[in-house]
Amino acid sequence: MSIVVYLETSDVAVRSASLPALTAARALAQHRGGPIVGVVIGSGLDAAAKDAARYVDKVLAYDAPELRAPLAETYAPVLVAALKAAGADALVASATSTGKDVLPRTAALLGAGMASDISSVEGAAKFKRPTYAGNAVTTVEVTSPTVIVSARQTAFEAAAPLATVGGVELQPAGTVDARGAAFVALHASKSERPDLTEASIVVSGGRGMKSGENFKVLEELTDLLGGALGASRAAADAGMVPNDLQVGQTGKVVAPKLYIAVAISGAIQHLAGMKGSKTIVAINKDAEAPIFQVADYGLVGDWEKVVPAMIEEVKKLKA
Amino acid sequence: MKILVPCKRVPNPEQKLKFAGESLDLANPGWQVNPFDEYAVEAALRLTEKGKGGERAGEVVLVTIAPKDAGQQVRGLLAMGADRALLIDGKDEELDSNAVAQILKGVVEAEKPDLVVMGKQTVDGDDNQVGQLLAGYLGWPQATFLASLSLAADGKSVLTTREVDAGVEEKRVPVPAVLTVDLRIISKKAVHNEALVGPDAEWDEGPRYASLKGIMAAKKKEIKEVTVASFSVSPEVLVKTVSHVAPPARRAGVKVSSVEELVQKLHNEAKVL
């Protein structure tokens, strides 16, 4: 049997957020065998399907105007059809906002068990996943004949293209029934900075920053380092920064090579979103703040003095 | 408007988890309501009232699948203002998201609510599946991880927003539907029933506290104990939990005494700058 990987696409390419799912699927193929079939869904998919074919032996493309927006109501039946067309008994996707919405619905349509947000593949149907806000690692086994998994993006490397390019098969979209649901609009957040979940350096500010105005100095450090700006829930709740910068159990999960937490105390919910970072720096004036327990390097001090000094030091280093 | 709110108790998330071998030690879990479910109750109450502490127009029915002693947590939600509750006998260790969704399908068929409003995930299993599974089993539309929701004046559709990786997505779903809520749903202006309040209506930030009056009233509200067998469903567990272990500990970090030392260490030792 084969393994289907759902690949999210932009107008021209596979989204980088889906590349970890391919790595997870390749790990699963070690245990289950079978070819990996990529599935792309949308409208006007020619370029994106071709890009997807660089990563898999075969791509099934479901291309129809009514599939332009990712609605769980329309995408789940397409994924069911894709599994049938591919002769697959496993479905893998990244645990993105789309993956988390669509995959469980697909599981219901198939009567299949699903392991959410997995961090590793342990067997043909056995996976590890973080639970309790990352305070436990739970091993689960899917017992249904068909296995569905969503892969935590930060736990799997981005897959590299294969040596050979696979073929693209255009599949009939069939009857598309949105069950009355309608996509209205996507208000895209605009930023010159790298995406928070993909940046190799993240600088985050917390409640201790006191105001949105004060985030300017963090932005300066962020841009100097070529990183992305993040924030704790407390800072987002207080309206200092937009909600989409929030890192944590609610919010984004990040695992950059360097995470700098400034004036963040380190609530469990925040730690759940950044504990996987390679190197963690904590800057906080409270020496007892829990953030220091996960930090590789801690500096007790006031951000108002530390951050400008850090900007100067980094400038010296780069000079 | 009748709203069904599935809810679950979870071990206190602020408490340090204890392990016994490859299992969790839940001897003193400090049970409390899953925070996202509390947000769902708050959202459901806002949908059925004319404003702060105003009169109600609708019914909020709670359902939980748990041992009988979970009645204590349910009573707290009734004290917030929910109208009645169903307590279905069940144990966490004998259920998974699929079985829960199948039981809830039976409850929906029996109760026939206009909307199911629930938390996007529980903070113990962190599965984030039940709402979507339930919508799939019912064939209903779904709107997940909601930051805001507005019920149209004719009561026939809900305009929703949710934060997605690329920004904020707006989606309209007809009623009946399954809605799952995220943290932002408890901000001041996140929930509207256009038939009851204008677009400017606002509530206090956060899930409401139970008033003394609410606590007294909750004592008289019904918590009906039922069994899974009373619904025409046969729930199947499809995901088995094998073990729970503590995550690998991070190696102990060091405190540095100056910014200069910090930047040097990041450059020379960690090699990340």
Closest by CA position to A120, among listed A155, A157, A159, A160: A155
Q: Do the chains contact at A96 and B165, CB–CB below 8 Å?
A: yes
CA B117 → CA A255, A266, B225, distances in Å?
A: 32, 30, 21
Q: Do A117 and B243 touch (CB under 8 A)?
A: no
Mean pLDDT over B246-264 rounds to: 92
Q: Which of A135, A139, A187 shows the shortest C-beta gap to B247? A: A135
Cβ distance of B270 and A187 shorter than 8 Å: no
| Å between A4 CA and nearest CA of chain B | 20
List Cβ neighbours of A262 (8 Å cut-off, separation of 6 or more): A203, A204, A205, A206, A208, A209, A218, A283, A284, A303, A306, A307
Residue B172 has pLDDT above 80, yes or no: yes
The pLDDT value given to residue B53 = 56
Ranking A29-33, B81-85, B204-208, B249-253 by mean pLDDT, the lowest is B249-253
Query: Is the pLDDT confidence value at B54 over 80?
Result: no
* Residue that has been written with the tokens 């009514």 in this structure: A66
- d(CA A113, nearest CA chain B) in Å: 5
Report which of A253, A194, A257 is spatially closest to residue A222, judged by C-alpha positions: A194
Distance in Å, alpha carbon of A250 to nearest chain B alpha carbon: 7
CA nearest neighbour of A58 among A151, A156, A168, A157: A168
- Measured between CB atoms, does A76 come within 8 Å of chain B? yes
Is the CB of A180 inside 8 Å of chain B's CB atoms? yes
Among B157, B168, B255, beta carbon nearest to A187? B168
Chain B environment of A179 (Cβ under 8 Å): 139-141, 174
Query: Whole-structure pTM over 0.90, yes or no?
Result: yes
Residue B167's pLDDT band (cuts 50, 70, 90):
confident
* Separation CA A214–CA A271 (nearest Å): 23
Closest chain A residue by Cα to residue B121: A250
User: What's the pLDDT band for B51 if we cut at 50, 70, 90?
Assistant: low
Sign of CA dihedral B8, B13, B16, B21: positive
User: What is the DSSP code (8-state) at residue B258?
Assistant: S
A97 touches chain B (CB under 8 A): yes
Side chain identity at residue A223, one-letter code: D
Task: Give the model's pLDDT for residue B127.
Answer: 96
In whole angstroms, what is the distance from residue A265 CA to residue A208 CA?
8
A298:B254 CB<8 A: yes
| Buried b or exposed e, range B6-31, using 16+ CB within 10 angstroms | bbbbbbebeeebeeeeeebeeeebee
Confidence of residue B52 (pLDDT cuts 50, 70, 90): low
Residues in a beta bridge with A36? A3
Distance CA B11, CA B124 (A): 7
Tens digits of pLDDT across chain A (319 residues):
999 999 999 999 999 999 999 999 999 999 999 899 999 999 999 999 999 999 999 999 999 999 999 999 999 999 999 999 999 999 999 999 999 999 999 999 999 999 999 999 999 999 999 999 999 999 999 999 999 999 999 999 999 999 999 999 999 999 999 999 999 999 988 788 988 888 999 999 999 999 999 999 999 999 999 999 999 999 998 999 988 899 998 889 999 999 999 999 999 889 999 998 999 999 999 999 999 999 999 999 999 999 999 999 999 998 8
Three-state DSSP string of B33-83? ECHHHHHHHHHHHHHCECCCCCCECCEEEEEEECCHHHHHHHHHHHHHCCC
Average pLDDT in chain B: 94
Closest by Cβ to B124, choosing from A131, A144, A201: A131
Nearest residue of chain A to residue B14 (CA atoms): A268
Q: Do A297 and B96 touch (CB under 8 A)?
A: no
- Give pLDDT, residue B249: 84
pLDDT, position A191: 80
Per-residue confidence (pLDDT) for residue A95, from 0 to 100 = 96
* Gap between the Cα atoms of A82 and A99, Å rounded: 15
Scanning A299-318 for CB atoms below 8 A from B yields: 299-301, 306, 309-310, 313-314, 317
Closest chain A residue to B241 measured between Cα atoms?
A140
Share of chain B above pLDDT 70, in %: 99
Residue of A nearest to B15 (CA): A268
The residue type of B124 is D
CB A175 within 8 A of CB A78: no
Residue of chain B nearest A225, judged by CA positions: B273
Facing residue for B172 by CB, picked from A181, A233, A317: A181
Residues of B in contact with A301 (CB under 8 A): 259
Which helix (H) or strand (E) element contains residue B119? strand B115-119
Nearest-Cα distance to chain B for A208, in Å, is 19
Nearest residue on chain B to A109, judged by CA atoms? B136
B174 burial via Cβ count (<10 Å: 0-12, 13-18, 19+): middle
Beta-carbon contacts of B213 under 8 Å, excluding residues fewer than 6 positions away, are: none
Tell me what ipTM this predicted complex has. Answer: 0.96
Segment 19-48 of chain A within 8 Å of chain B by CB: none
Residue B81 to residues B149, B178, B195, B264: CA-CA distances in angstroms? 20, 21, 20, 57
